[in-house]
Structure 1
Amino acid sequence: MIDPAAIDLAALLPFILIGFAAQLVDGALGMAFGVICNTLLVAVLGVPPATASARIHVVEIFTTGASGLSHLFHRNIDWPLFLRLLIPGVIGGVAGAYVLTSLHAEVVKPFVLGYLVLIGIWLLVRGLLYPPKIARPKVVAPLAAVGGFLDAAGGGGWGPVVTSNLLVQGGEPRKIVGTVNSVEFFLAVAVSLAFIWQLGLDDILGPTLGLIIGGVVAAPIGAMMAKRFSPKLMLVMVGTVLTATSAFGLYRALA
């Protein structure tokens, strides 16, 4: 049983704020929750990568569930695209969870981050200089499998990989963000089940509980923001967030 008296609210507050900010960005732009939280847990607190990824995905069961329901309410979900992303994304995520302990992710991480920096810059330029042209994405299943694998293996990556690439293919921004966020709930459940043997009940205390609280509170706000932003503004914002977070991660990986 969880003892409420064991929860230090003062120590919990920073993680509530981090969870709120990360989910606000993720709900509105379709990325960055895992990236922000993984940076905090691994780089700042020194949590082992596998444990950090497991905790993040447990948190994301709650945050993506709330976010998915909010996007459903605001009609931000493209159901045919949802179905095309779901199964390959879950398969990739479970595979990533199982090979994390043996995969030397640090070797390939700089290349993935460098790729995401270029994608972010491209989206930023596209948003600034050209009116967005809406088209139905064609490359979906392989993208979902890769995004799910990288998300589980690296503690974050579903949003940056899948959202950014679907936007590059011309998808409607609010529909892409809503659909990718909604599929992420099922990905989080599958990856968490693959990781769950590593976790005890006490692991949902402290930082993880704070991230859950902050993320769930922010989820409806992020979905509302995704509906109200213009496609051009969303492209600029996604490009900016993706470029900044990926560039920072690349700097850390090469330092």
Structure 2
Amino acid sequence: RVVARIAGPGAVGAFLGATVLSHLSTETAAPVMSTILLLLGAYILVRFVLGIKPALKKQLTIKFLAPLGLFAGFVDATGGGGWGPVAVPALLTDGRLSPRKVVGSVDTSEFAVSAAASVGFLVGLGAGGINWRFALALLVGGLIAAPLAAYLVKIAPSHLLGVAVGGVILLTNTRTLLKSFDVSDPARFTAYGAILVVSLAGLSIAAQRARKQATAAEPEPEASLSA
């Protein structure tokens, strides 16, 4: 249901974004978008480390998913990637779906988004504006990596997956921001290292918390009867 509601608007947004990008540059929007996603990534990381569960019971509606899909699809096409970085943080922040379902739904609907963006670029640039060797190499790499990623998402505990996703969002958007402001390499690598340390610490804390909760939930053994 989530895939059906987000894929259509995402495809429309991707087609529009590809058409727009064929005629103008959107580089100035990258720092703003990365700042927003950076904040969302930090929230996701903290939420899953601390085990915070939003009290939301209603299912995701078309009023939420359609604008999200339209916006994420537009960003994906204009920025060369953004469907996952925009849609995943928004859905994880909302809290109605587990990390596993969020990643699976976003990945499944990305096919329609990518197809629409490809059509948009073909319309705007023509076949001569596309480097087919690069496109083929990326396609082959994606076909190899996708099944492995799907398997990892399937077996990974939700609390650890949420922390990992939050850390990746932090890392990728920090990279975009620092490169936008021409920050020196030593400073950038220091920031990357700090995010990695924080993410690993978060994974450790989340794992320990989950073990404690599992231990507390185990039934106490009945006292042995005296002979």
TM-score normalised by structure 2 residue count = 0.72
Matches for 1:153-232 after TM superposition, within 5 Å: 153-170=78-95, 171-196=97-122, 197-200=125-128, 203-205=131-133, 207-232=134-159
Residue 204 of structure 1 deviates from its aligned partner by 2.3
The residue type equivalent to 1:145 in the other structure is L
Give runs of aligned pairs for residues 35-184 of structure 1, distance below 5 A.
Answer: 80-132=1-53, 136-138=59-61, 139-170=64-95, 171-184=97-110
Aligned residue type for 2:85: P
Percentage identity across paired residues of the two chains? 37
Distance in structure 2 (CA, Å) of the matches to 1:176 and 1:88: 17
C-alpha root-mean-square deviation of aligned residues, in Å?
A: 1.9
Q: Distance in 1 between matches of 2:127 and 2:30?
A: 25
Q: Structure 1 residues 202, 100: CA separation in 2 closer, same or farther (over 3 Å shift)?
A: closer
Q: Secondary structure of the residue that 2:31 maps to in structure 1?
A: helix
Residues 1:200 and 1:158: Cα distance change in structure 2 (over 3 Å)? same
Unaligned 5+ runs, structure 1: 1-79
- Which of 1 and 2 has higher RCO (CA within 8 Å, sep 6+)? 1
Query: Distance between the aligned counterparts of 1:111 and 1:103, measured in 2?
Result: 18
Q: What is the CA-CA distance between 1:210 and the residue it aligns to? A: 2.4
Q: 1:234 and 2:152 equivalent?
A: no
| In structure 2, C-alpha distance between the alignment counterparts of 1:211 and 1:86, rounded to whole Å | 22
1:70: which partner in 2? none
| Matched residue type, 2:172 | T
- Structure number with greater Rg is 2
**CA contact under 8 A between 1:127 and 1:236: conserved in structure 2?**
yes
- CA offset digits 1:114-165 (Å, max 9, x no partner): 1111111111111111154575435211111000000001101110101110
| Equivalenced residues, count | 175
Q: Does 1:244 align with 2:171?
A: yes
CA contact (8 A) 1:137 1:169 kept: no
Give the TM-score taking structure 1 as reference length: 0.64
C-alpha spacing 1:125/1:253, structure 2 compared with 1 (3 Å): same
User: Which residue of 2 is the match for residue 44 of structure 1?
Assistant: none
When structure 1 is superposed on structure 2, of 207-216 and 230-239 the one drifting more is 207-216
Q: 1:240 to 1:105 in 2, by over 3 A?
A: same
Q: Which amino acid aligns with 2:80?
A: G
Residue ranges of structure 2 left out of the alignment (5+ in a row):
183-227
> By how many angstroms is 1:107 displaced?
1.8
